[in-house]
Amino acid sequence: MKTQIIQLESHDETISVKDKIEWSQTHRVLLIWPRRGKILRDQLDLVFLERHCASLGSQLALVSKDPKVHFHARQTGIPIFKTKLEAQNNPWRRSWRLYQRKQLQKAASSPREIDLDSSPRKENQHSEKPLLGRLGIFTIGVFAVLAIGALLFPSADVRLPARNQWEEHTILVQANAQVTQVHVSGLVPARKVVTNVEKRATLPASGIAYIPNTYATGEVVFTNLTVHSITIPKNTILSTDEENPIRFATDVAVIVPGGLEEEAAVKITALKPGAEGNQQAGEIVTISSSLGADLKVTNPAATTGGTDMAIPAPTANDRETLAQTVTEELEAIALDLIREEISTEDVLLSVTPNIEEIELQRYSPLPGQPGDKLELTMRIQFSALVVSHDDLLQLGQKMMAASQSDAFTPIPETLSVENLTAPIILDDGESQWRLQVRWQNKMVWNTPEITRRLLGQPPSQAKEQLAKEYNFDQPPAISLYPEWWPWLPFLPFRINVEG
């Protein structure tokens, strides 16, 4: 049978609840009290709502933990439960108020025959009945009313002792980034958490670089290959005969006399400073101009005076060492940021984040340049795979549902999960670890059979019988309304059995 479930709010009152009920199109309406706030604690409010449901052709039931609401509900004969699950799993007893009202409506709607001619005669006969007879009829009526009250008025709550047991399972959890749903086999999705971190660090230079300091000087001799005199301008370029020649320039202009093999000497200076300008005798043989067709040149003696200066400079090993140090520091920072982003109960699949991309790696000074220290600025994007604790709880819920039996029902709020081992990353990128899933089961009672056994019994005898038949460690608790009533109700719907 369909049931309309209406969740009440802490500000609801009788009229607002009545409006919510009017939208219902089912035969049963279940009102659920809010966890906080005390509402509809007056018996007249409950009677009003029960009558309104009856006018709509629906049966009303309540879910509340408020003792005052429980008391008024029992007094008015409205079914009441402590949880929504209990209300859905247990039958609803019919309200005796609704039963009485329907009987009165049925009696009022049935046609009655009125004998107008015989009415005066019946009144006369009634007036002629003896006083003792009328007193007997009155006494029978009183006893009949008391008997009906004894059947309908008393109610009882029977609370059975808890028969709970723990159930636990160990499962091999497999986390994969390609999975999108939780499977009862242990397969859960792993989500990627990404973060960007940047750091600048320095390292003293451990190497030495040589930079040019002074210019090399020397003297060359030009030899005339013609019969004419030749003027050699100042800054005429001379060089060695190599793939990467060393160049020199004449310091002054000079005239080579005419005639074959006539010679003239002139001072030269290297174009670039440094020790590379120190050349052996006979190395400078090239004239870098048109004069090379009429003259030949050589240096009779070595050029000297070119020097290099030694200064600190970072080495390739310095760059590698600094990059490794900065990367490790960035990994530690990224791991802390990822842990701050996720819940403490989530499972981080690796203690070292993965490098997604090196977005920036800038050295100063550049390779080959001097400097007393090496500076590096790095920005790296890291990622890590994480399994949500909610997904692990969902895995536990699926296992709990798969293990449910007819004799026991699980208590969802007792579900817990615990990691027994640390995650291990396999070659294919999947992670595995062992997880313990644990929950508590509650015995399912056959409440109609228990109710049938308790009908009309004294409370002490009922407790003894239940403890004996169901092997309770302690007797059940039985509460009678009113408290002075000596027997449990004779009608099943007036007994509420809770496990």
131 shares its domain with 98: no
Residues 43 and 82 in one domain: yes
CATH code: domain of residue 74: 3.30.750
Q: What is the pLDDT of residues 442-482, one digit of tens each?
A: 877 778 888 888 888 898 888 888 877 777 777 788 888 88
User: Is residue 419 one of the residues assigned to a domain?
Assistant: no
Enclosing H/E stretch for 416: strand 408-419
Q: In sequence order, which ranges of 43-95 are alpha helices (DSSP H)?
A: 43-55, 67-76, 84-89
Q: Would you give the distance in Å from CA 9 to the centre of its chain?
A: 29
Domain finish residue from 263, 289, 311: 311
On whether both 121 and 36 belong to a single domain, the answer is no
pLDDT single digits (tens) 380-393: 999 999 999 999 99
The pairing of beta strand 187-189 with beta strand 164-176 = parallel
Ranges of the chain with pLDDT below 50: 114-128
pLDDT in the model for residue 108 = 53
Q: What pLDDT score does 201 carry?
A: 95
Nearest alpha carbon to residue 241 among 307, 200, 178, 296? 296
Tens of pLDDT, residue by residue over 265-279, are: 999 999 999 999 999
Q: Say which CATH number the domain at 245 has.
A: 2.40.30
Give a yes or no: residue 323 inside a domain: no
- Predicted local confidence at residue 102, as pLDDT: 55
Q: What is the pLDDT of residues 56-107, one digit of tens each?
A: 888 889 999 888 888 888 888 899 998 888 888 888 876 555 555 555 555 5
Residue 324 neighbours by CB under 8 Å, 6+ apart: none
From 284, 311, 338, give the residue that closes a domain. Answer: 311
Residues 256 and 302 both lie in one domain: yes
Long-range contacts of 95-103 (CB under 8 A, 24+ apart): 95/50, 95/59, 95/60, 96/152, 96/491, 96/493, 96/494, 97/47, 97/50, 98/50, 98/54, 98/59, 101/51, 101/54
Residue 170, both tokens = 């160990």
Confidence at residue 451, expressed as pLDDT on a 0 to 100 scale:
86
Q: Are residues 230 and 250 in the same domain?
A: yes
Overall domain count for the chain: 4
Same domain, 243 and 293: yes
- Among 265, 289, 311, the domain boundary falls at 311
Would you state the structure tokens that stand for residue 234, as one six-digit string?
């100042």
